[in-house]
Chains A and B, each alone.
Chain A
Amino acid sequence: DTAVSQTPKYLVTQMGNDKSIKCEQNLGHDTMYWYKQDSKKFLKIMFSYNNKELIINETVPNRFSPKSPDKAHLNLHINSLELGDSAVYFCASSPGVAGVGIWTDTQYFGPGTRLTVL
């Protein structure tokens, strides 16, 4: 059973196109995230949703629009793709609560989507 899954695994497209990446988790977690990892391996959060509500929206161009139809799914739509959008995009989920008074953001990552913009 795949805990966090993403589709597609690879995405090659031309500049200016619009594309979507889908993510699903079967862990029963309340919180889901999108991260971008660039060629230097730096992992940066883009968005976070908790129970379908947007709670973190980092400084990301508004060409990127996340959508969470339910707490198990978080999709990412990208309009007017640019060369600089080429990266690996990871979806992740976290349970939120580790114990009394302890909030944890242990991240469970999906396999990643390698986006190449030509």
Chain B
Amino acid sequence: QKEVEQNSGPLSVPEGAIASLNCTYSDRVSQSFFWYRQYSGKSPELIMSIYSNGDKEDGRFTAQLNKASQYVSLLIRDSQPSDSATYLCAVNINTNAGKSTFGDGTTLTVKP
């Protein structure tokens, strides 16, 4: 089993729709969870971090964390063509030698 698994994708949604990206992780002691966005040919950039169970909203983005189910998701409301990118889920255990383990990524295409 992979440490961090994401929807295999690719995911295609029409402009204005809600895009839902999912991620599960295997290590129960994981403490910090991140969503990065990577445009083609560019480097990953952080869009959301979440540490506690529940929802965290930032503009059109909502991260949801359920530690009991070992599940973290990212919802993008009112999807725009500019949201088309690969979304990477990252998880770390919070030690002094912190290490983020990344999922394989889900490629999202938002069609006008």
Please give the residue numbers on chain A whose beta carbons come within 8 Å of chain B beta carbons, in ascending order: 31, 40-45, 48, 50, 55-56, 90, 94, 96, 102-112
Chain A residues with Cβ below 8 Å from B105 are: 41-43
Question: Contact at A104–B49, with CB atoms within 8 Å?
Answer: yes
Query: What is the minimal beta-carbon distance from A58 to any residue of chain B, in angstroms?
Result: 8
Closest 8 A-B residue pairs measured CB to CB?
A: A109-B43, A105-B98, A55-B97, A43-B102, A103-B94, A105-B100, A105-B92, A109-B44
With beta carbons under 8 angstroms apart, the residue of A96, A107, A111 that contacts B100 is A107
A56 is contacted by which of B32, B46, B94, B97 (Cβ under 8 Å)?
Answer: B97
For A107, give the chain B residue with the smallest CB separation. Answer: B100
State whether the Cβ of B55 lies closer than 8 Å to any Cβ in chain A.
Answer: no
With a CB–CB cut-off of 8 A, which chain B residues contact A42?
102, 104-105
Task: Report how many residues on chain B are interfacial, defined by Cβ distance under 8 Å.
Answer: 27
Is B36 located at the chain interface by the 8 A CB criterion? yes
Residues of B within 8 A of A (CB): 31-32, 34, 36, 38, 42-46, 49, 51, 86, 88, 90, 92, 94-102, 104-105
Chain A contact surface mostly? strand
User: Quick one: closest B residue to A91, CB to CB?
Assistant: B43
Question: By the criterion CB–CB under 8 Å, are A102 and B43 in contact?
Answer: no
Nearest CB of A to B43, in Å? 4
- List A contacts of B42 (CB < 8 A): 111-112
**10 further interface pairs, Cβ-Cβ under 8 Å (given A105-B34, A109-B43, A109-B44):** A31-B98, A41-B105, A43-B44, A43-B102, A50-B96, A96-B98, A103-B31, A103-B98, A107-B34, A107-B44
